[in-house]
């Protein structure tokens, strides 16, 4: 009788360990909200230390019009470079539009609005959208694995004079 009970207990344990637990969405939402608040603080105050604690070591950032940035330290260096560029963020707001998870992976889709002062351009406003891919860590916490964002603002018009000169040069070759 005992061997059968042992087999049943072992089978039950293996079935329980194979069932996937649904993510704690309240914890995930709280983490995302804290990350967005830390990002806002970093952008307004020029200190990226707190926000970096929300990134995985091997995180990926895909800024617009740039190559992929790989690794937490490289992302931190990029953020610090942006903060030292002379651009001063004066207001920023992040809004999570959609947040969902399955297993140990989650995604956040959101929008942003910001105001800034650029040394060569004066005061500017920007708004756009972003997506962040989150992964649950072994300790149960959530960290950013990948992110990308881009503006909703139109591209500046091309200088038509320069464009015509380029065409003329190409024809002469």
Please report, in tens digits, the pLDDT of each residue of the chain (173 residues total): 556 655 555 555 555 455 567 889 999 999 999 999 999 999 999 888 889 999 999 999 999 999 999 999 999 999 999 888 888 999 999 999 999 999 999 999 999 999 999 888 889 999 999 999 999 999 999 999 999 999 999 987 877 555 555 545 555 55
Total-model pTM = 0.77
Determine the pLDDT at residue 93.
97
Determine the pLDDT at residue 68.
98
Q: Which one, of 169, 86, 158, 92, lies nearest residue 126 by Cα?
A: 92
Integer Cα distance of 121 and 158 in angstroms: 17
Integer Cα distance of 142 and 152 in angstroms: 28
Strand order in the sheet with 105-118: 69-70, 55-62, 142-151, 122-136, 105-118, 88-102
Integer Cα distance of 122 and 142 in angstroms: 38
Spelled out in words, what is the top-level CATH class assigned to the domain 20-154?
alpha beta
| Cβ atoms of 54 and 42 closer than 8 Å | no
Integer Cα distance of 99 and 25 in angstroms: 9
| Cβ atoms of 50 and 41 closer than 8 Å | yes
Integer Cα distance of 112 and 94 in angstroms: 5
Determine the pLDDT at residue 2.
57
Q: Which one, of 77, 70, 31, lies nearest residue 54 by Cα?
A: 31
Determine the pLDDT at residue 76.
94
Helix ranges (DSSP H) in the chain: 2-18, 25-45, 49-52, 72-84, 160-172
Tokens 């038509």 -> residue = 160
Domain ranges of the chain: 20-154
| Cβ atoms of 111 and 144 closer than 8 Å | no
Helix (H) or strand (E) holding 128: strand 122-136
């Amino acid at each position: 009788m005992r061997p059968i009970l042992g087999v049943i207990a072992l089978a039950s344990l293996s079935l329980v360990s194979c069932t996937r637990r649904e993510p704690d969405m309240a914890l995930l939402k709280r983490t995302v909200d804290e990350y967005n608040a830390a990002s806002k603080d970093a952008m307004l105050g020029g200190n990226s230390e707190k926000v970096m604690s929300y990134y995985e070591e091997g995180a990926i950032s895909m800024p617009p019009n740039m190559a992929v940035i790989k690794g937490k330290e490289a992302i931190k260096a990029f953020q610090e470079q942006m903060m030292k560029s002379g651009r001063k963020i004066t207001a920023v707001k992040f809004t999570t539009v959609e947040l969902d998870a399955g297993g140990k992976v989650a995604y956040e889709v959101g929008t942003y609005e910001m105001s800034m002062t650029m040394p060569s351009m004066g005061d500017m406003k920007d708004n756009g959208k972003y997506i962040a891919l989150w992964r649950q860590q072994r300790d149960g916490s959530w960290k950013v694995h990948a992110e990308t964002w881009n503006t909703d603002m139109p591209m500046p018009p091309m200088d038509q004079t320069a464009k015509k000169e380029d065409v003329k040069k190409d024809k002469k070759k």
